[in-house]
């Protein structure tokens, strides 16, 4: 068994924190950031049991961009 490092993108929706893993498209939520990450870890582990990584994965490219919004 090997250990891989994945990315967690977290944002707040109403009263919950939503955590997403862009590498494998898993999503989970929790009442706290820590709970959301723990739930994301569990859902990602379960996903990878069913759909193992067949090749060496690479981290996604992360960048920022600007959009015009009416304030």
Say which CATH number the domain at 10 has.
Answer: 3.30.160.250
Cα gap 62→56, rounded to integer Å:
19
Whether the pLDDT of residue 18 is over 90: the answer is yes
> Is there a contact between 57 and 4 (Cβ–Cβ < 8 Å)?
yes
The predicted model gives 48-70 an average pLDDT of 84
Higher pLDDT, 7 or 71: 7
- Give the containing element (helix H, strand E) for 43: helix 33-50
Number of domains the chain is built from? 1
Q: List, for residues 19-55, the tens digit of each pLDDT value.
A: 999 999 999 999 999 999 999 999 999 999 999 887 6
3-state secondary structure of 32: coil
The predicted model gives 6-11 an average pLDDT of 95
The parent domain of residue 34 ranges over 1-71
Higher pLDDT, 62 or 8: 8
> Is there a contact between 21 and 28 (Cβ–Cβ < 8 Å)?
no
């Amino acid at each position: 068994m090997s250990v891989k490092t994945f990315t967690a993108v977290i944002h707040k929706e109403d009263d919950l924190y939503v955590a997403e893993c862009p590498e494998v498209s898993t999503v989970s939520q929790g009442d706290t950031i820590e709970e959301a990450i723990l739930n994301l870890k569990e859902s990602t582990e379960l996903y990878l049991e069913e759909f193992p990584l067949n090749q060496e994965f690479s981290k996604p490219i992360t960048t920022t961009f600007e959009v015009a919004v009416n304030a």
